[in-house]
């Protein structure tokens, strides 16, 4: 069974990450219009390294994705939201219930389309 659901995030393909906003205890990723709000903090994967909230280089590595083009973006129910960039790096947001810090893990806004909530 393929649980991958690229429909909501497919619009990000070919766009660039244009801004990263840190708002108290969550992060917003802006893509020249669409915005992904991550209440469950994202992980950044670069080369063979993974960076998590609280690590010394986390903010720098996340912000270094600004200007990178999205190769693919999708979600896998109960697993993760993943944004892969053309340079091979990626950002992931866990959708595992144990990682939720609130009632929602993330939401995706792409007006005038309805907001997608995980």
pLDDT tens digits along 27-64: 999 998 999 999 999 999 999 999 999 999 999 999 99
Q: How confident is the model at residue 3 (pLDDT cuts 50, 70, 90)?
A: low
pLDDT digit string (tens) for 5-29? 547 899 999 999 999 999 999 999 9
Closest by Cα among 54, 49, 45, 117 to 88 = 45
Mean pLDDT on 52-78: 96
| 19 alpha carbon, distance to own chain's centre | 12
**Amino acid 5: pLDDT:** 52
**pTM for the full predicted model:** 0.92
């Amino acid at each position: 069974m393929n649980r991958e659901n690229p429909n909501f995030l497919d619009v990000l393909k070919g766009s660039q990450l244009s801004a990263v906003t840190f708002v108290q205890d969550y992060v917003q990723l802006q893509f020249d219009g669409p915005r992904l709000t991550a209440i469950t903090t994202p992980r950044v994967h670069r080369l063979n390294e993974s960076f998590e909230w609280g690590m010394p280089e986390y903010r720098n590595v996340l912000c270094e994705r600004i200007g990178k083009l999205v190769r693919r973006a999708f979600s896998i129910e109960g697993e993760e939201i993943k944004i892969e960039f053309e340079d091979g790096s990626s950002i992931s947001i866990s959708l595992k219930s144990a990682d939720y810090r609130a009632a929602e893990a993330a939401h995706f806004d792409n007006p005038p389309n309805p907001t997608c909530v995980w």
